Amino acid sequence: MAQVFDPSTHPHRRYNPLTNEHVIVSPHRNKRPWLGQVEPPQNHALPQYDAACYLCPGNTRAGGKKTDIYEHTYIFKNDYAAVLPPPMPKAPIDPHHLLTTEPVGGECDVLIFHPRHDLTIPRLPLEDVEGIIEEWIKIYRKRGSEEGIKHVQIFENKGAMMGCSNPHPHGQIWSFTTVPTLPAHEMTNLVNYSNSDHPPSNSPRGPHGKPCLLCEYAHTEVNIEGTERVVVKNNHWVAVVPWWAYWPFEILLLPYRRHIPSIFHLTPDEKTAFADILSKVTKRYDNLFSCSFAYSMGIHQRPIPLSSPEETDEDDIAHLHLHFSPPLLRSATVKKFMAGIELMAESQRDITPEQAAQRLRECSETHYMDTIEEK
């Protein structure tokens, strides 16, 4: 008798239309023993203020500049920026057609989320999360309007295992005189999808009534019976472990009711719902292993904003979305490594996206630290 394919047990390959890449899913490997690297346990009890922290109010930063005393968010230029403001000097003549150099300029900004050293996004009141969103919009508009800037990237690295050099809650905004590789690839695939023929759908449409890949995907996850990858949704936003997820508990967060090119296009209600779902997603992350859950988060949207949300051009095919890429695999101390087959052939994961979404759905929306403090 022929064996019946079961995606929860049989290895298979899934396609990511955003990147035009595949990921191998190997659910049968969940039972393998682990004798590899184990991360040190996290320190749960961070102080409210740390005199040695250069992001705490009033303290001196590593470069000698002083952080102002602030009460909510605080933004400053990175003292050790990866790129420098334009204009840039011309590149030397290429010694060979395979050895090319392209100057890149821009700015690197740091956004501190809150004066408290110990409060990350999942532990902040919603009004403070909304304040972070408003600052993202301001700096996106400011840097995106500067001469020569072609892309503004908002991101957060949370946790030492993701390369975060300071536990004080903060993110960064880097602007570039070029469009970086990953968002450029996404835009290419969004454009290609919008110009292709697809079956009729009730999903929201992109500019000029054209199909939008992420509108269609979000509509499918929210409305098609049998989808098991939705972690949480509200009136405007949905968080899913995407069909093509690479990281064990990866999340794609996006608006699903209408096509939204950027955070500049959000209505007041959509901003409030954005803060709500950010809080709910990150609480579930922390509660999964009862730790401050490490991740890298990035916002993908229009490369730069226009002067008004009512204006439009070809870049409005972008659909606002956030990628959460967390490394933790089995516990607070065991993480996934990108190595071997991932570096030399193709991305691979063990736990299925559906299994990961179920585990996150089952997590409480009350932060575990709040429960500990109540006791």
Binding annotation for Zn(2+): 53, 56, 117, 168
Cα→Cα distances 122→38, 163, 289, 298, 371, Å:
25, 20, 14, 16, 14
List of residues 6+ apart from 214 with CB closer than 8 A: 18, 190, 254, 319, 321
Give me the helices (H) in 75-149, please.
Answer: 126-144
Annotation: binding site for Fe cation: 186, 300, 321, 323
Annotation: binding site: 53, 56, 117, 168, 186, 300, 321, 323
Q: What is the residue-wise DSSP string for 249-311?
A: T-EEEEE-SS---SGGG--HHHHHHHHHHHHHHHHHHHHHHTS---EEEEEE--SS--SSTT-
DSSP 349: E
Q: In the block, which residue shows the tokens 């395979």?
A: 98
How far is residue 123's CA from residue 145's CA, in Å, rounded to a whole number? 33
**Single-letter code of the amino acid located at 12:** H
Known catalytic membership, residue 170? yes
SS (H, E, C) 198-231: CCCCCCCCCHHHCCCHHHHHHHHHHHCCCCCCEE
Other beta carbons less than 10 A from residue 79's beta carbon: 13
Catalytic residue from among 10, 72, 97, 170: 170
As given in the structure block, the two tokens for residue 100 are 């090319």
Active site residues: 170
